[in-house]
Each structure stands twice: as C-alpha cells, then as structure tokens.
Chain A
Amino acid sequence: AQSVAQPEDQVNVAEGNPLTVKCTYSVSGNPYLFWYVQYPNRGLQFLLKYITGDNLVKGSYGFEAEFNKSQTSFHLKKPSALVSDSALYFCAVRFLSSNTGKLIFGQGTTLQVKP
C-alpha cells in the first residue's frame, strides 16, 4: 500500500541551529513529493515540491528538502531555525500513476524552535 511516514511526532531545536524533519514513503511508482506547513487555526501552506531533476529542492522561507530515491526519503531541512518556524509540518506524496490529484499525507511533525 502507498503510504507516507513521519517518524517523529515532535522535533525540538534551538534557534539558529540547523533543523531536519524526516519523511519516508512507500510507493509502487515514481512519486511527486511535497512539504506543507500548518500554523494554528490556518490551512496548509505549500513549502516546496520535488517532481524531477536535482535531488535538492529549495522552497519558501529558507527551507529545502533532499530527495533520496534509494532510501525513499524526502527530509525537510533548514540551515538556521527561527522561532517563527515553530509549526506543524506535513510531508505528502502524489503518485505519477494516479490519474487524480490525490495527496497522501504523513501524520505530521510538530517543530518547536526555542529561543
């Protein structure tokens, strides 16, 4: 079955330190990969996506993600965390074999950046 896993419920990091939010997926084809962020009482905001090409994708607010096909991972990274980055982060996949736009989301990872 196609699935997405975010192994950490919460990630804590000090402001100014690098952060990584992990995501792995299980797929029978080639995926499109996305990261979304959700602030309290707000909808999901798009951060970045991987479709093809360079494995390192740069997105909004200084975030980037690295696609690793052999490890079926798409970890979200940022070199220097800000307190304002504290939010709920979702990894999502969409499969090329799908005729729909259906996104399959991970369960989410809460990022807490402390001053």
Chain B
Amino acid sequence: EAGVAQSPRYKIIEKRQSVAFWCNPISGHATLYWYQQILGQGPKLLIQFQNNGVVDDSQLPKDRFSAERLKGVDSTLKIQPAKLEDSAVYLCASSFPARTVKQYFGPGTRLTVL
C-alpha cells in the first residue's frame, strides 16, 4: 500500500515570502493531520481534518498559516508571510477515523526560512 506522500521534501525561502506544502494521504483515510516539528522538539499538531472539515486547529497560527483539504483527499498547508521561527519539518499524517488506530506519517517537508 502506498504511504503518505508529501512535497516538496525541502524548501528554502526568505522571511516574509510565502510557501505551500502538499500532502496526499493514504487512500481511504478520512482523517488528515499537519504537524510542525521544530529541531530538538517533538511534533506539534497544527490542524486536523476529518474529510474536508476542520476538527482541531487550536494551535494553528491563523494570522499566517492556512490549510485546506478540498474534496476530502489532498491537503495544502500555506504560510504567508514566513518568519524565521517557522523553520521546521512539516509532517503530514493520516488515519482512519476510529479513535484507537495509529497515524501514518509522511516523510515531511523541511522548511528553512532565511
């Protein structure tokens, strides 16, 4: 079975520029998550989708971050404008909606903001 796909794998931008990340979850997985992993820290949930609806975006910096999941499949996470502190790995994960199952993670996008 194909895993969670993410692109690009690496991105370098200057502060105040915009950037977008793409995620394609495992087929059939209704739940999609975006995590931010800053170097030396564990991943932190930014936003969770159930199909195309937002379940939890309490830790998403909404003044600069946005995410969408049109048609309940692929998802895009955008940062506009980027700050130096946004340098991190952005991980996408997906799962079935049942509460007990594990999450499957993609390889991540490493963002460097200069």
Contacts and interface: CB of A to CB of B under 8 A. Distances in A.
Interface in A28-67: 32, 34, 36, 41-46, 49, 51
B67 to A, nearest CB: 15
Contacts of B107: 41-43
A86 to B, nearest CB: 17
Contacts of A106: 42
B57 to A, nearest CB: 10
B99 A101 contact: yes
Given A34-B102, A45-B105, A101 B31 contact: yes
The size class of the interface chain B forms with chain A is 20 to 34
A45 B104 CA distance: 7
B44 interface: yes
Contact of A100 (B42, B48, B93): B48
Given A34-B102, A43-B107, A102 B43 contact: no
B48 to A, nearest CB: 5
A41 B110 CA distance: 9
Given A41-B107, A101-B33, A101-B95, A49 B42 contact: no
A49 B103 CA distance: 11
The size class of the interface chain A forms with chain B is 20 to 34
Contacts of B88: none
Interface of B: 4, 31, 33, 40-45, 48, 55-56, 91, 93, 95, 99-100, 102-108, 110
22 contacts: A32-B99, A36-B105, A42-B108, A43-B105, A43-B106, A43-B107, A44-B43, A44-B105, A46-B102, A49-B102, A90-B43, A96-B99, A100-B48, A101-B33, A101-B48, A101-B99, A101-B103, A102-B56, A103-B103, A105-B42, A105-B43, A108-B41
